[in-house]
Chain A
Amino acid sequence: GDSVTQMEGPVTLSEEAFLTINCTYTATGYPSLFWYVQYPGEGLQLLLKATKADDKGSNKGFEATYRKETTSFHLEKGSVQVSDSAVYFCALKGNNDMRFGAGTRLTVKP
């Protein structure tokens, strides 16, 4: 079945560092891909999405490109801030329900 694998955390960075969180997927057909962010004690918020190959989703300085050839959707940000500290989830939606990765906890230190 459809599944998502993302890099294990936790990830700890200094403010203004470059961020990459890896995400790969397995799916039949052509799923839509998403990144969600979850702050402590809160639900998930949609960060960005891409619906077809080579699409780039972007929001709040974060971006991810839908790479069909490598079945990947890595999340990147050029300069992280303390306020970016949260758990990030990669997800896909194919023909069935949305499937989530296990999440990657990011901590940004000043």
Chain B
Amino acid sequence: EAEVAQSPRYKITEKSQAVAFWCDPISGHATLYWYRQILGQGPELLVQFQDESVVDDSQLPKDRFSAERLKGVDSTLKIQPAELGDSAMYLCASSLGRETGGYTFGSGTRLTVV
């Protein structure tokens, strides 16, 4: 069964350092999403890509977060500088883009900022 690949699974970083997460969506899925899930809460969208273009980044803290999907396939989410409040699970998901379809999520990256 096709999966969304994410790495690393776990990341511990000191505040003010830079950190990056990688996601490889299911082959053929044009739409890619980055979500942030704070412990005990539901996921919240950070950024949505359609192919290589950003469709929605209204909730992305652009002073410190950036995301790219240069060739419309895999994607990188970066935080610089990391803050203590960034500690969360970062989830990547992909979909065919059809409105009624569900998303396929990766296993996530658990970030701890110390």
Nearest residue in A to B108 (C-beta to C-beta)? A43
Known: A41-B110, A43-B108, A97-B33. A49 touches B102 (CB 8 A): yes
Interface assignment of A27: CB less than 8 Å from any CB of chain B: no
Question: Is there contact, CB below 8 Å, between A102 and B42?
Answer: yes
Question: Is there contact, CB below 8 Å, between A97 and B48?
Answer: yes
Per the bound structure, the CA–CA distance linking A97 and B43 in Å amounts to 11
Interface assignment of A25: CB less than 8 Å from any CB of chain B: no
Question: Is there contact, CB below 8 Å, between B105 and A44?
Answer: yes
Per the bound structure, the CA–CA distance linking A41 and B91 in Å amounts to 11
Per the bound structure, the CA–CA distance linking A45 and B91 in Å amounts to 12
What is the size, in residues, of chain B's interface with A at 8 Å between Cβ atoms? 24
Known: A43-B91, A43-B105, A46-B104. A89 touches B99 (CB 8 A): no
Interface assignment of B25: CB less than 8 Å from any CB of chain A: no
Nearest residue in A to B44 (C-beta to C-beta)? A100
Question: Is there contact, CB below 8 Å, between A46 and B102?
Answer: yes
* Chain B, range 53-108, C-beta contacts under 8 Å to A: 56, 91, 93, 99-108
Per the bound structure, the CA–CA distance linking A34 and B108 in Å amounts to 20
B binding-site residues for A, Cβ under 8 Å: 4, 6, 33, 40-45, 48, 56, 91, 93, 99-108, 110
Other CB < 8 Å A-B pairs besides A43-B108, A49-B100, A97-B33, 13 of them? A32-B101, A36-B105, A41-B107, A43-B4, A43-B93, A43-B107, A45-B105, A98-B33, A98-B103, A100-B43, A100-B44, A102-B42, A103-B42
Closest 6 CB pairs of A and B: A100-B42, A43-B105, A46-B102, A51-B100, A44-B105, A97-B45
